[in-house]
Structure 1
Amino acid sequence: MKKTALIMLGAGALSLTLAGCGSNQSDQNSAKSSANTYAPAGKDTLVRGNGSEPDSLDPIHAQTNVSASILYDIGEGLLSEDQSNKPVPGVAKSWKVSDDGLVYTFHLREDAKWSNGEPVTAADFVYAFKRAVNPKNAAEMGYKLAPIENAQAIMDSKKPVSSLGVKALNSHTLEIKLDHPVYYFLSIMTDPVSYPVYIKGVKKYGASFFTPEHYVSNGAYYLKEWIQNGHITVTKNPYYWDAKNVHIKNVKFLPIVDRMSAYNAYASGQLDYVMYVPTGNLPSIKRKFGTQLKSTEWLDMEYLDFNLLKPPFKDNVKLRKALSLVINRQDLVKYVTQAGDIPLYSFFPSSIENGIYSDVQYKWSTWPMQKRIELAKKLYKEAGYSKENPLEISIEYNTDITHKKVMEAIAQMWKQTLGVDSTLANSEFKVFLKVRQSHDFQGVARDGWVADFNAIDNFASMWTCNNPQNNAGYCNPEYDKLIAEGQKQRSPEAAKPYYTEAMEIAMKDYPIVPLFSNAVVHLVKPYVQNYQMETNHLDHVYDKWFSFEYKKQS
């Protein structure tokens, strides 16, 4: 009976199917919709549905993939990425690593320039790295640079910023010393937090530097226009070192939060690329648009944060475990998200680092649901609650139709199995981020993390005591100690025992509820050429890769 009720919820929640996609007439018109394989003559702008407004375009404060998708265009680090997420030369044309893995020497291109024509130098990187770890700047993403010599001590206010292990040997040679070897350090050097910033501009304008009026950048594009809640336009940077291979002149990012609106804009030809596709009726979208609907496995996870700094979840692991046990993740992905997502029973996607941690997951994941529910009821009662004395909590999430359906389903699972009374509370993304990070909620908050690089530490380090992305407020010194040891290892195999033990400790503490790992699903017009999505499991997209295909004039 309970499973049937959940199936009904999935069907009801998904009643908002795609307008015009389910009818025979729509399918008959699919060839017509997909026939436009050539870009309109004279088209010079790629228009992308980007999900929402970016939280920031300052590389040390940008926390979302919405922001990153723009930063990949307007900035560039020492290294860039190919479409398999492998590090390739960026501002640095070459580099060498010392035998002990502690010293990296990068040789910068002499033709690397800012968008105002001035040269990009090693000093620009030194300034940017020090800015990222300076505790006065409260950089949410600065922790990614922790392997650099003294970086963590600086962020903890234990050492001066001047002690950071980054040095300009000359104008085009940069030396970086590490506290310990890091086998994925080159991947960190592709991340926006490692991008250089234009020193004179930041010093003169401060936070307002990162606006079209003042922004000087070094990527394939520069920031031309930012209309809040309207669009962001970037334009080809004529001074970019590889400008001759940048084929699309402009990219316009539209912050369309509603997935149906983004889909309709794509169907009517207003968008060339949709970041977030409605997941309620993917078979119909596939029939209508064929190979324009693209998908691949994503190294990400959706989860819930318990607020461990406040009752009722502070010091109540039994209650946290009970709520995690009764969520039927299989039903969530089958009946609610319907996008090829993968249920998660660990604190990271199972395919991270080629699946070497796939055995680290909750043992109860293989139990029948009824057995899980029976244990959950026992724990719920021991935690001080019952159907007569129900838990009352809020479920916070950012405005999005899919998030709404998932949270409604979870609330119903908790109600049906344990009697929990949940109040759903949604807010616009920027507001939601502040609520979540300040722990200003009485219950649980939706969270999600997309890997910046294919390494377990990209997830594991988030739950260390002082990590700014630790939205649950979890802190276990033993966990931190194991993570620190794992970070020092020189290969994934050597690091695995430390991360495995650490994850098992954290999972027993239940600071979060893992839900599922998303699939990447985009809509891309057929005239957008050279998109190799099937190998891009981080979903890092650089528009400099693309070109338009035009119909040849006869």
Structure 2
Amino acid sequence: MDFTMHFKTITKLGVVALGSAMLLAACGNSSSQTSRTNTLNWMSNTSVTTLDPSKAVDVTSDQVLYNSMRGLVTPDKGNKVNLAMAKNYKITNGGKTYTFNLRHSKWSNGKEVTAKDFEYGIKRSADPKTASQMGYYMNNIMNYSSIKNQTMPASMLGVKATGKYQLQIQLIKPQADFLNVLALPVFYPQLKSAVDQYGSSYGTTSDKMVYNGPFKVTNWTGSNDAWTLAKNNDYYANSNVKLKAINYSVIKDPQTALDEYQSGKLDQTLVAGKQQYNNYKNNPDLVNRKEFMIQYLSINQNRVPALKNKNLRRALSMAIDRKSMTEDILGDGSFAARGLVPDTLAYKKGKDFNDYASVKDATSTDLTQAKKLWNQGMKEVGKKSLSISIMNNNDQTNRSLTEFLQTELEKLPGLKVNAEILPNNVASGRSLKSDYDLSVSGWSPSVSDPISPLQTKVSNSPINTSKWGNSMYDMYIDRSNNQDATNPSKRFDDLVNAQKIILNDQGIIPLYQKAQPELIKENVKGIKYLGNGPVWDFANAYIKK
């Protein structure tokens, strides 16, 4: 099971179901040119739940909103952002005041997009009456805490239109990743007259919404499994938008989606499971994306006191053959993780975060050394045998992964490993209660900053279900959030040091970083892929003739 915690759903654990391996016929010619003019047919394996920016919490809704709306900034690759509705900005008051000057733009109904729309939209998201699950991203905005506790009205939030095209946001302290946070839908502008007009129906269908992004949504009734992103001629950069439309359809069965791709009805499809991946790994249409999803073994030291011994934890990690795990068990392009922070999430001077922050011994395989460490650790805890369980969910891929881990770890002398393969809701509930020995866990950040996964392991974090703790780790995370928040270089080093601490202590056992292989027609160009959140940006996509 992936006990996959999305940063946007901080109060609960979600699960990412990996596609089952399927026996397929030999590949056909899947790279034929589409005959459609400036129109793409795309698939999704889940439906849209809402178009209300204040209430969107799932990836598919974010995907649609990201392409039909524009906030102050948009996410870029790594931990960067690009200016969007903001044409420029300045940071003053010791990093606590952000002032944005806006582009002149229009809503899809022809009305101007103004700073008041941003002020209204953000305050609406902050208002407890709206019941946004994403409001906690505003924790550092002035007065949000009081608004959340309903001791102050949402109108007092530290967000204000200081001119028709100027917006100011006041923070209670500097926040290094604040620009990244502003890319999320809860910070999108919203047109008050549209919210008032549609009332409780706002955002529940595509025609009860207005848009300011590259596309507008059409043909979504609120319950159907199809919708269209149609070019929005009122978008401020509409001359750069080449596609006329992207037609989405929800296809949950991987074989059905593959059949439609091969027949030319789809321009893209997900590749699910080892067999599909092997069939298509040499196909020129295959694109293998690195997701910002790290899977690791969470070690509940309180549940198994013997695992408070560092040598035993190190032995568990070194006993796992990650090459066999990624190639033979997963077989979908996923690769061994180098830490808690995903590769490609953040960079410094052109080098990946993990080029600075990886610890080889924490992610390497050496069964001979693992047995030595295990014997040493067992002597230190005064045991000759030990029994532990690994908890995971019951989809086919995760079942195979758990059984593999069980076999690998039982190579350690005197260790008995039980596989607890449970329904997702049962396993998620137990994980939240720290009711496990080991669990296959993960984190998928919505914000492209190393602080997102690293913050989950702070001693007092409610998400730290293993209860691992280290005072130096906490100090570096605190320093990155406070005294070094306005010094990007020092802050980066703080986060590097934090990851090195948890890896050197083997506070987790990194397993793999998830990849998502997809088939995309070769003549589809200019799409920007993002490792988290909305995933696809179609603003500059086109079909090569």
Deviation at 1:174, TM superposition (A): 0.3
Of residues 388, 391, 397, the one that matches 1:394 is 391
Cα distance between partner residues in 2 of 1:385 and 1:63: 47
Match of 2:217 in 1: 223
Question: How many residue pairs get matched?
Answer: 513
Superposed, 1:164-203 pairs within 5 Å as 164-200=157-193, 202=195
Give the AA of the match of 2:225: G
Q: Which residue matches 1:75?
A: 69
- 1:301-332 deviations in Å (ceiling 9; x for gaps): 22355679xx8469964587775554432321
Query: For the residues of structure 2 that align with 1:384 and 1:179, how far apart are their CA atoms?
Result: 51
Tell me whether 1:461 sits opposite 2:466 in the alignment: no
* Bigger shift: residues 478-487 or 171-180: 478-487
Letter in 2 for 1:487: N
Structure-2 residue corresponding to 1:518: 514
How far did residue 228 of structure 1 move? 4.7
SS of match in other structure, 1:544: coil
SS in 2 for 1:266: helix
- Deviation for aligned residue 1:545: 2.0
User: How far did residue 483 of structure 1 move?
Assistant: 2.0
How many Å separate the matches in 1 of 2:316 and 2:152?
42
After superposition, give the CA deviation of every residue in 1:72-106 in whole Å (9 maximum; x if it has no partner).
11221112256787533322233233384332211
Alpha-carbon distance between aligned partners in 1 of 2:233 and 2:19, rounded to the nearest angstrom: 47
CA RMSD of aligned residues (A): 4.3
Q: Sequence identity of aligned pairs in percent?
A: 26
Equivalent residue number for residue 20 of structure 1: 25
Match of 2:5 in 1: none
CA contact (8 A) 1:322 1:380 kept: no
**TM-score, normalised relative to structure 2:** 0.77
One-letter amino acid of the counterpart of residue 97, structure 1? I
* Superposed displacement of residue 191, structure 1: 2.8
What is the CA–CA distance in structure 1 between the aligned matches of 2:191 and 2:402, rounded to whole Å? Answer: 42
| Aligned partner (choices 465, 481, 493) of residue 489 of structure 2 | 493
Partner in structure 2 of residue 240 of structure 1: 235
Unaligned runs of 5+ in 2: 1-17
Instruction: Give the aligned partner of residue 537 of structure 2.
Output: 542
Picking from 128, 141, 147, the partner of 1:148 is: 141
Quick one: which of 335, 338, 359 aligns to 2:331?
338
What displacement does 1:168 show? 1.1
Is the contact made by 2:24 and 2:276 (CA closer than 8 Å) also made in structure 1?
Answer: no
Provide Cα deviations, 1:261-316, integer angstroms capped at 9, x if missing partner. 433332232321224554445453144x31x21235444422355679xx846996
CA–CA distance in 2 between the matches of 1:423 and 1:103? 50
Identify which range, 516-525 or 409-418, moves more after superposition. 409-418
- Structure 1 residues 404 and 168, CA gap change in structure 2 (3 angstroms): farther
SS in 2 for 1:104: strand
AA at the equivalent of 1:116: N
Query: What's 1:10 paired with?
Result: none
- Match for residue 8 of structure 1? none
The structure whose residues are more often helix, as a share, is: 1
Q: What amino acid sits opposite 1:494 in the alignment?
A: K
SS at match of 1:126: helix
**3-state DSSP of counterpart to 1:419:** strand
| 2:92 matches 1:98 | yes
Structure 1 stretches lacking a partner, 5+ long: 1-12
Give the AA of the match of 2:519.
Answer: L
Displacement of 1:525 after TM fit?
A: 1.2
C-alpha distance in structure 2 between counterparts of 1:74 and 1:92, whole Å = 17
Q: Could you tell me which amino acid in structure 2 is paired with residue 92 of structure 1?
A: A
Distance verdict in 2 for CA 1:377–1:139, change over 3 Å: farther
- 1:370 alignment partner AA: T
Alpha-carbon displacement from aligned partner over 1:10-54 (angstroms, at most 9, x marks no partner): xxx999465123xxxx4xx54xx42x22x324x564222223345
**C-alpha distance in structure 2 between counterparts of 1:119 and 1:173, whole Å:** 14
Q: Determine the structure 2 residue equivalent to 1:88.
A: 82
CA drift of 1:514 comes to 2.7
CA distance in 2, matches of 1:381, 1:205: 69
Post-superposition shift, 1:517? 1.8
Letter in 1 for 2:526: N
**Structure 1 position 507, deviation (Å):** 5.0
2:258 corresponds to which letter in structure 1? Y
Q: 1:528 aligns with which of 513, 519, 524?
A: 524
The alpha-carbon deviation at position 493 of structure 1 amounts to: 2.0
* Change in CA separation of 1:317 and 1:280 when aligned onto 2, cut-off 3 Å: farther
